[in-house]
A and B are shown apart, each in its own frame.
Chain A
Amino acid sequence: MKIKLDIENKIIFPLLLLIILPIIFFSLISYYNSYQMLSEKQIDHMDNLIDNIEIIYLKDGKYDTNSLSSNSFDEAYDLEIINSNEFSLSEETSGSIINDNEIISFKKISNNKGYIVLRYNKENFIEELFYFQKNSIIIAIISMFVSAQIIIILIFNITKPIKDLTKKCKDIEREEYNTFEPSHRNDELGLLSNSLNNMMETINQRTERIKYLNYINEKIIKNAPTALFLINQYNKIYKNNKMGEKLVKLDLKEENTSLSLVDFLKEDNKNNVYEFNSLENKKYFLDLNSSEIKNFGSIVSINDITERREMELKMDHMNKMSSLGRIAASIAHEIRNPLTGIRAGVQVLYKRSEKSDMEIYHSLINEIDRMNELVSEILNYSKINKSKKIKCDLYEVLASSLDLYKDSISSLKIEYKLGKKPKYVMALIDPNQMKQIFMNIISNSLNAMDKSKKELSIYVYNTNFDYNSKRINIVIKDNGKGIEKEDMGKIYDPFYTNHKKGVGLGLSVVKKLVDENSGKIDIKSEYRIGTSVKLIFEVI
């Protein structure tokens, strides 16, 4: 197990050793010196004692054992006489010896027959030494304790600011930017701490600024009209904005590769316009622009140019139609005069003809008349005048147009319904042109009725255009034969018709007149089910 010491302990432990070891060392030296001193003192004392011992010899030359009784010494001492041949401690006549347990003093007695030996038990001596040293030991313990305390408190005070700084740095590392209480120390640690505080304040300010800019950028990107996709180095979509999300939700597939939009973005595609199809088979034209981001991946911006494309196609188409109309009008003009001459000639021939040829001439005149009528219509179409807009009640115009068809409606046994008049009905329009619009649409509806139960419903309602303007919506819905899906794109083309007797200029005129009156037309039709025509105008 590895023991981790913090800076405080790394300083405390060696310092403690530095203080405690000398105290122990000096205590031991002091103890040893005292020991030596007391030993010497004891030896002197014992030498003195042994010198003063008198041996009383008895008549038989033996000594009186009572004279050696320990009464004259305390229990610590042991006195005896040993025969010279048994004495092995020393060869000298007198002296002292210290061994592990005792101090021994000896002296040869005068008759040379033996030695007086005085023994002293060291246990008593150590007890005396302890008493002698007791205060020193207590002072040593107190000194060690006080030293240790001072070291601990001192090192704590020195290392605390370092630890505080470390904590601050850890907080910065964890991005917990806080303002700390400034240090009141005047030393280097105080300066360092205050510098760190200032640095953190600057970091905090800048972080706040960056956060704000980030917020602004995110807002801009999020609400940008262009779809944006960030693709990281692992070729995964890292982020996208609202518009991007909208496109992804459409579940688009690229026309050529059939890849989904997300997968297509991951491919290394060139900056170009690509065609995508939605699940409902609606075409989308997307303009892709990709640019590399160093060390990250790339950013792809997508502009949905479907509307623009459609407009371009429409404009093309309209230009063509316009040219065609002009050509048709000039041809019609050129045809009309000769036709008048031809009709006059055929009429003369009709009057001179025999009865058997009269029918031929009659049908010739009819055909010439039909041609004339067609020519007139073409000429009328090309001559649609500029609208004369006035403020008028659109609902009233609609109702009066409908009145003209009341007889036809009842003769055809059509169930018709006209919705309630809405609140806002006044619009800036040309009432005559509007009448023409309604009549054309209603006429188309009546012509399309092929079912036994015929229904015609007209609803008028208001919607909000924006915050302070409103619209009037007029929906004319029938349950006629409807228009086939593939023909829907051609309904506004002149001369397109699916009615045997029609010229194919009705809806073309309607579209032109609606545009002239700043309105919108939206036709929805389901084959064999019916058609719904929605007209939208701004109310005033």
Chain B
Amino acid sequence: MYKILIYLIYFSFYSILILILGKGGLKQTETIEDFFIGGKSMKLFPSIFTFTATWFSIASMVGFTGSVYVSGYEVVLMSVVGWFLGAGFLVLIVDSIREYDLITIPEFFYKRYNSKGLQIFGGITIVFCYIMYMIIQITGFGVVISKLLEINYSMAIFMIYIFIIYTTYGGFFSVVKTDTINIIITIIGVLISAFFIINKFNSVLEINIFASEIINNDNKAFLDFEIPLPMIISTSFAWGLGLAVNPQYLIRISSTDTSITAKKMISYSVLILALLYFLLSLVGVGGRVLSPELYNNIHVDEVYSFLINNTIYTKLSGFILIGITAAAISSINSQLLIISSGLMIDVVKNIYTKPIHQELVLNISRFFIILAATVSLLLSFTPPSSLLIYGSIIWSIFSITFFLPIYLGSFWKKANKTGVIASIVSGLTVMMYFLFKSGFFDSNYSMHPVIPSFISALLFFYIFTIIGDKYENKT
């Protein structure tokens, strides 16, 4: 009983903290630019905090740890390596993104390819993908919190709903302020969970020695690489490409005060994230050694909550609980804000061309935030099977629709609208074919659908850019 009471006390303090910080952000917002990208005035430290907090979602904390518990270190190759590869790509694109002076990422389509249609398409893609991706976060949160507080799943997901609306309502400044405290709490949570896991052993090495002795049901060693290499590489690739053009990271590049700040932001954030993933890997593997019975009994996304609530429970476990909450909120509010900007700036403003005064734009954007959060909440009542796999599919859509137009558009002068349209159409068609063939949003495929889709998109981009070059020059 006292566990729940302690969790509730932690939760109450966290709520108060968020209330205070979110309120501070409300005051700073004056313009649309302030609301969506903090007036492009972000200094290094707030940028690092918001970048890391946005990145380190519940999929990382709960999904990643649970997956390591089930599959061992191969999960690192399947996800983290891809993410960091994506971060490397982000550094390359910093100058180009800042040069185009963007408030939303689909604006790039308009400013680079002079196509409002593509901008609207980009906005709609963002809305679709992020609503889908937010389901992962909300579901993850619901699973963990319902287990820890022993409450109904629906009540648990409603709890995050009220947090995310509040933290996003004040716009980018509110998000950054709450992200700062959220990432600090998340880091403390991860440190505590790693400390208590490691504390159960004599050394880190001992965890791995014990883990190497574990044999799975299929008579294969736990730490052996079971997942086929093409699957590992392709999933990692899907994450990487998706991350490299993920608007929630690109927009943080746009929000910094200088290019240098943006590059430093990515570099330092990756260092912090590397530490966090290392610690969570130990939690996953150590947890498997300490509580092997969970392997056959509970779902991958419930592993982490079981470990903190039972295997390594202390009075500080409340910190881990709010760490999970913080990780979920800090990612969802960024995504909500991007959905709102996509709808308002990329879609509404391009369709409804009459001037709308700033106050009304801000209020409509806030309404979109509430709307998107509600839709995601409703969809979360039927959660997907695996957070990591589901996430990689969503990210694949970004890879196909945004990666080639943005990166080739930045570095290849010839890149044109015709090439972009052909690339997106072919990439999505191939992707849909593979998804329908092997099951929509299911993980039973040997190679991630992003690989053939991306190759097809790349080919079409090149061919149609050459064709389009002649055609566009004539017209």
Residues of chain A at the chain B interface (Cβ within 8 Å): 127, 130-131, 134-135, 137-138, 141-142, 145-146, 148-149, 152-153, 156, 181, 183-185
| Nearest opposing residue in chain B for A127, CB measure | B1
A181 / chain B contacts, CB cutoff of 8 Å: 357-358
Cβ-defined contact, A145 with B19, below 8 A: yes
Cβ-defined contact, A141 with B12, below 8 A: yes
Q: Which of A134, A146, A149, A153 contacts B151 (CB 8 A)?
A: A134
Cβ < 8 Å to A, chain B residues 13-61: 15, 19, 22-23, 26-27
Most buried by A among B1, B151, B162, B360: B1
Answer whether residue B306 sits at the interface, using C-beta atoms and an 8 A cutoff.
no
Cβ-defined contact, A137 with B8, below 8 A: yes
Cβ-defined contact, B19 with A156, below 8 A: no
Q: How far is the CB of A28 from chain B (nearest CB, A)?
A: 16
Cβ-defined contact, B15 with A152, below 8 A: no
How many A-B pairs have beta carbons closer than 8 Å: the answer is 52
A-B contact pairs, 11 of them (CB 8 A): A130-B5, A131-B1, A134-B150, A137-B8, A141-B12, A142-B159, A142-B162, A148-B19, A152-B26, A181-B358, A183-B359
> How far does the alpha carbon of A39 sit from the alpha carbon of B27 in the complex, in Å?
50
Q: How far is the CB of A23 from chain B (nearest CB, A)?
A: 12
Q: How far is the CB of B148 from chain A (nearest CB, A)?
A: 12
Cβ-defined contact, A184 with B360, below 8 A: yes
> How far does the alpha carbon of A78 sit from the alpha carbon of B353 in the complex, in Å?
79
Cβ-defined contact, A130 with B1, below 8 A: yes
Quick one: given A141-B8, A146-B162, are A135 and B357 in contact (CB under 8 Å)?
A: no
| Nearest opposing residue in chain B for A6, CB measure | B27
A185 / chain B contacts, CB cutoff of 8 Å: 359
> How far does the alpha carbon of A54 sit from the alpha carbon of B360 in the complex, in Å?
79
Cβ-defined contact, B162 with A184, below 8 A: no
Answer whether residue B375 sits at the interface, using C-beta atoms and an 8 A cutoff.
no
Q: When each residue 148-172 of chain B gets 1 if its CB lies under 8 Å from chain A and 0 otherwise, what string results?
A: 0111000100110010011001000
Known pairs A138-B8, A141-B11 / 8 extra A-B pairs, C-beta < 8 Å: A130-B1, A134-B4, A145-B19, A145-B162, A149-B166, A156-B27, A183-B359, A184-B357
B4 / chain A contacts, CB cutoff of 8 Å: 130, 134
B22 / chain A contacts, CB cutoff of 8 Å: 149, 152
Quick one: given A127-B1, A131-B1, A181-B358, are A149 and B19 in contact (CB under 8 Å)?
A: yes
A152 / chain B contacts, CB cutoff of 8 Å: 19, 22-23, 26, 166
> How far does the alpha carbon of A205 sit from the alpha carbon of B162 in the complex, in Å?
49
Q: How far is the CB of A30 from chain B (nearest CB, A)?
A: 16
B155 / chain A contacts, CB cutoff of 8 Å: 135, 138
B11 / chain A contacts, CB cutoff of 8 Å: 141
Quick one: given A127-B1, A145-B15, A152-B19, are A138 and B151 in contact (CB under 8 Å)?
A: yes
> How far does the alpha carbon of A131 sit from the alpha carbon of B5 in the complex, in Å?
10
> How far does the alpha carbon of A141 sit from the alpha carbon of B11 in the complex, in Å?
9
A142 / chain B contacts, CB cutoff of 8 Å: 158-159, 162
B159 / chain A contacts, CB cutoff of 8 Å: 138, 142
A149 / chain B contacts, CB cutoff of 8 Å: 19, 22, 162, 165-166
Cβ < 8 Å to A, chain B residues 68-94: none
Cβ < 8 Å to A, chain B residues 399-451: none
Q: How far is the CB of B398 from chain A (nearest CB, A)?
A: 31
| Nearest opposing residue in chain B for A134, CB measure | B4
A135 / chain B contacts, CB cutoff of 8 Å: 151, 155
Cβ-defined contact, B26 with A156, below 8 A: yes
B26 / chain A contacts, CB cutoff of 8 Å: 152-153, 156
B19 / chain A contacts, CB cutoff of 8 Å: 145, 148-149, 152
B150 / chain A contacts, CB cutoff of 8 Å: 134
A138 / chain B contacts, CB cutoff of 8 Å: 8, 149, 151, 155, 159
Most buried by A among B19, B159, B165: B19
Q: How far is the CB of B150 from chain A (nearest CB, A)?
A: 7
A130 / chain B contacts, CB cutoff of 8 Å: 1, 4-5
A141 / chain B contacts, CB cutoff of 8 Å: 8, 11-12, 15
B165 / chain A contacts, CB cutoff of 8 Å: 149
Q: How far is the CB of B17 from chain A (nearest CB, A)?
A: 11
A131 / chain B contacts, CB cutoff of 8 Å: 1
> How far does the alpha carbon of A168 sit from the alpha carbon of B165 in the complex, in Å?
30
> How far does the alpha carbon of A484 sit from the alpha carbon of B339 in the complex, in Å?
101
Q: How far is the CB of B114 from chain A (nearest CB, A)?
A: 29
> How far does the alpha carbon of A184 sit from the alpha carbon of B155 in the complex, in Å?
39
> How far does the alpha carbon of A130 sit from the alpha carbon of B7 in the complex, in Å?
13
Q: How far is the CB of B24 from chain A (nearest CB, A)?
A: 11
> How far does the alpha carbon of A135 sit from the alpha carbon of B156 in the complex, in Å?
11
A145 / chain B contacts, CB cutoff of 8 Å: 15, 19, 162
B357 / chain A contacts, CB cutoff of 8 Å: 181, 184
| Nearest opposing residue in chain A for B15, CB measure | A145
A127 / chain B contacts, CB cutoff of 8 Å: 1
Q: How far is the CB of B332 from chain A (nearest CB, A)?
A: 16
Cβ < 8 Å to A, chain B residues 154-196: 155, 158-159, 162, 165-166, 169
> How far does the alpha carbon of A149 sit from the alpha carbon of B159 in the complex, in Å?
13
> How far does the alpha carbon of A142 sit from the alpha carbon of B156 in the complex, in Å?
11
| Nearest opposing residue in chain A for B5, CB measure | A130
Q: When each residue 205-229 of chain B gets 1 if its CB lies under 8 Å from chain A and 0 otherwise, what string results?
A: 0000000000000000000000000
Cβ-defined contact, B169 with A153, below 8 A: yes
> How far does the alpha carbon of A183 sit from the alpha carbon of B22 in the complex, in Å?
25
A134 / chain B contacts, CB cutoff of 8 Å: 4, 149-151
Q: How far is the CB of A151 from chain B (nearest CB, A)?
A: 10
> How far does the alpha carbon of A92 sit from the alpha carbon of B39 in the complex, in Å?
79
Q: How far is the CB of B106 from chain A (nearest CB, A)?
A: 26
Most buried by A among B23, B150, B358: B23
A148 / chain B contacts, CB cutoff of 8 Å: 19
> How far does the alpha carbon of A113 sit from the alpha carbon of B149 in the complex, in Å?
50
| Nearest opposing residue in chain B for A149, CB measure | B166
Instruction: Give the 3 A-B residue pairs with the shortest CB-CB distance, closest first.
Output: A127-B1, A149-B166, A145-B15
B149 / chain A contacts, CB cutoff of 8 Å: 134, 138
| Nearest opposing residue in chain A for B23, CB measure | A152
A184 / chain B contacts, CB cutoff of 8 Å: 357, 359-360
| Nearest opposing residue in chain B for A146, CB measure | B162
> How far does the alpha carbon of A344 sit from the alpha carbon of B27 in the complex, in Å?
124
